[in-house]
Every structure is written in structure tokens, then in C-alpha cells.
Structure 1
Amino acid sequence: MTGKWIDISQTLHNGIAEWPGDTPFTYEVAFAKADTGSVNIGKMTTSTHMGTHIDAPFHYDDAGIKVHELPIDVYIGKAVVIDVSGLDSVGYSNLEAHDFGGAERVLLKTSSRPNADVFPQSYTVLRPDIGPLLKERGVKLIGVDTPSVDSEHSKTLDAHHALYANDVLILENIVLDEVEQGEYELIALPLPIAGADGSPVRAVVRRLGK
């Protein structure tokens, strides 16, 4: 038995916070029905890392695979939500006692990004030693409710690289405020953008076993 679908995506809207220095999100009706006689047509400008999004390895590795090359099955299937609220960072020691229930996708609820319209001064990050643990457990995707798995000021992106080295892909800026710890089904498909380094996604989950 499964529960209802829960949207865990940030709503894209004018005013949503972008990564400092990145392209802001804008949407406008470029052609109105009153003018065209038949339809409204919108125009959107955005970074590929706006709102809830995935990182393709090309984002942080010139030799990494791009969005259109990603295996889409990684973004669909059983996931486990683990509440790590209150931690400054999350690594091997914080997760080793948790039973992933065989899930290939782990979603971390850090509660450190309370407002999508304000870029946080600080947020929970991942330590590089999380990569080997996830690989040991067969995890292929890590999701976080923060703008990045690394800090805003990191230039080496140690967590990104450690995850990639252990065959773990990245989902960022999910919204888990109303999602309890437990097992879920996840769908978080990227757009098939040729050559891209990332993509916004519509991420949803539904509880398993309830």
C-alpha cells in the first residue's frame, strides 16, 4: 500500500533565490492572447541549477557526463528519507547506523534551508567520507534540501567529487518540510537538455507501506 504523491519541489517564481552571482529566474507572458488572437506564450530565463535540480557530473568535471547522457532510472524508484536536522555536516558516522532498506536513493532532511526566496547564510553540507558508505549500500542518488552538497565558498567541491567517484548522482534543493523519515517512491526526472551541466526537476515522493 502506498500514500499520496507529495510534491517536494521548490516552486519556480520571480523572486526565488538564485545561487549568488548566478542567473536569476524570470517568467513573463511574452505574447498575450489579446495580441496573438489565440494563445498566451510565456518566456522563461533561468540557470540550470535553479530551484529543485540535479547536477550532472559535467557541472564539476569537464570530463563528466552531461544531462542528456544520465541514466534516467536513477531518478525513479525507492528512496529513504533520513532526518539529520541540526547537523552542520553529514558523513559516514552520521548515517552508518541507519537502515536504508535496500533503497538506491537517499534523501536527507537537514531543515537548514527554511525559505526558498532567501539564500541561506549557512546550511548543512556533506563530508566526502559519505561517498564510500553510499556505494557500500548500493546507493545511486543522494538528495538534499539545501542549495548544494558543498558549502557556498568551496572551490574544491570535495563532496561533489567524492560522490561522483563512488557513482552517486546529486539532487539538490528538495523540500522535505512536510515529509517524515521513512521509505518512499521518488520521481525526479531531469529535462533532456543536450550538453547541459544540470536541470531543474519536478520531484515528487509517495510513502511506501502506509
Structure 2
Amino acid sequence: MQTVYDLGKGLRLVDLSKLVDPASESRRCRLDRFNTGGPIPDFHTNLDIMSHLGTHAECPYHHDESWPDVTEVPLDRFMGRGVYVDFGESIAPNGHIGAADLDRFGAKLREGDIAIIDSSYKLNPFTKDSNTELDKRLFVNAETAEWFRERKVKAVGFGDGVSIENCNEDVKPFHDILLAENIIFIEVLKNLEELKRDVFFLSFTALPIKGLDSSPVHAYAIEGLAEFS
């Protein structure tokens, strides 16, 4: 699948989504394709998938029955000025991303931005290697969440260099603090190494299905738009 497109006039389109293959996907993903047209082909497909499949947006309903589902989150929260914050190896493996780290690397973030955090310690999330000796990814916790809440970002995304499944003591407060403020998450972002800029337009719109706590999304960045530079 092509991941980078030259749109001309200095614009680049970068696909930031995981390619989901039902044959190898570890999460629920089944397709039932059938022909409703008989001799005149008219194919349809029944999808049997989970809401946290592939690259997906997590909304407040994910952590509280009274918080907004994907249809109650304003549409403009699923797009905007994206800022890629790559900590590289500035934090020790399996270290927590603290306020001081974000002060140093997140200086470009403004109120209403979408932050994408990453590091050099890459590992595919939600696999058998998660939380093993092979997993050196950075961690988030309550301190990380409070920093983003204070900056009033609209969403936080995660590259393969940041873990959000290490332990309940870190993951639960991180989710609860931000989701309570309708700050949504974009998980399992891919192809971030293809970005040439750290500020860009980002879109990751969820499916408008009432009652969904989260939704698979097709996330992409457009580099070179003056309004999002």
C-alpha cells in the first residue's frame, strides 16, 4: 500500500494508518463478502470487527458510560494542527515521559493542537512482545496527562516508541485525566518516519456510529499547508 503522495505545490500526503489484514490481525476482524446481484455482480461485505482495530480513535465513552461516544465528540476534534514530538533516546528505555521532557520537546504545541508522541524504542503495540524484555518503549502516566490537559490539546496520538499498555497504575489515570476533558487518543499510528516536518495538518475521522466508544480511523498528514505549519 502506498504511504506517501506528492500532491504538488509543496504539499505531501503521508498515510499514518496501520494496514489491517484479516488473515493476520490479532484483534477481531472478519469479512463476509457476498453477491446480492446474482448474474449481475453486486458485492457487499459484512464486517465483524472490534472498535479498537488497527489505527483507532479512543473517545471518552471508552472509560465512562456517561461520557461522549464517537458521535457526541465534535467533528473538528478529529482534525487540526498536528505536532510530532519525538523524544528519540533523550529518555532512558522504559522511562516515563515527564513534564520536564515535554517542556523541552513540546514547545511547538499550542492550545487546540493534536500531539503525537514517539521515541526511538520502537515495538509494535498490543502484541506478544508487549511488556517483555524486548519492550523498551517510553511510558505515560498521570504527570504526562496533566501536562497535556494544561496545554489544552484536543488529542494525543502515539507512535510505536510509546507504550500505553504497561500497567494499570500508569494507563488508567492517563486515560481518565484526558478523556474527562474530551481529549481523545489516536493509537497505533504508523509511517511517522516518513514525515519530513514536525508540524502538519492531521485528520483521523471516526465512523459516525452511535454507541461506539472508539473507532478504526484512516489517519493521514498533509505537509506544506501554510495554515498548519
User: Residue 90 of structure 1 aligns to a residue in which SS?
Assistant: coil
Distance of aligned partners of 1:36 and 1:26 in 2 relative to their CA distance in 1, 3 Å threshold:
farther
The equivalent position to 1:160 in structure 2, one of 158, 165, 175, is 175
The gaps in structure 1 that reach 5 residues or longer are 19-23
In 2, the alpha carbon distance for the partners of 1:136 and 1:189 equals 24
Q: CA deviation at 1:32?
A: 7.6
Per-residue Cα deviation, 1:85-114 (whole angstroms, up to 9, x for no partner)? 454232322211121253611011235554
| DSSP-derived class of the 1:139 partner | coil
Matched, 1:141 2:145: no
Under a length normalisation based on structure 2, what TM-score does the superposition of the two structures give?
0.76
1:56 offset after TM fit, Å? 1.3
- CA spacing shift, 1:63–1:36, aligned 2, 3 Å: farther
Count of aligned pairs: 204
Q: Which moved more, 1:77-86 or 1:116-125?
A: 116-125
Relative to structure 1, the CA distance from residue 183 to residue 168 in structure 2 (aligned partners, 3 Å threshold; closer, same or farther) is same
Cα distance, 1:115 vs structure 2 = 4.4
After superposition, the Cα gap between the structure-2 partners of 1:101 and 1:153, relative to the gap in structure 1 and judged at 3 Å, is closer
2:42 pairs with 1:57: no
- Kindly state the Cα deviation for residue 150 of structure 1 after the two structures are TM-superposed: 3.2
Q: Provide the residue aligned with 1:30 in structure 2.
A: 34
The 5-angstrom pairing of residues 123-142 of structure 1 reads: 123-142=137-156
Distance 2:126 2:113 in 1: 31
Aligned equivalent of 1:92, options 89, 99, 102: 99
TM-score (structure 1 length as normaliser): 0.82
SS at match of 1:68: coil
Change (3 A) 1:148 1:108: closer
List runs of 5+ in structure 2 lacking aligned partners.
Answer: 1-8, 132-136
How far apart are 1:199 and its partner, in Å?
0.5
CA contact (8 A) 2:157 2:189 kept: yes
Query: Which of 9, 12, 18 lines up with 1:4 in the alignment?
Result: 12
Q: What's the % identity of the aligned pairs?
A: 20
Q: Which residue of 1 aligns with 2:5?
A: none
Q: How well do the aligned residues superpose, as a CA RMSD in angstroms?
A: 2.9
- Taking the aligned partners of 1:30 and 1:85, their CA distance within structure 2 comes to 47
Aligned counterpart for 1:105 among listed residues 100, 114, 119: 114
Deviation of 1:58 after TM superposition, in Å, equals 1.1
- Closer/same/farther in 2, CA of residues 148 and 136 from structure 1, 3 Å limit: same
Residue 13 (structure 1) aligns with: 21
| 2:76 is aligned with 1:41 | no
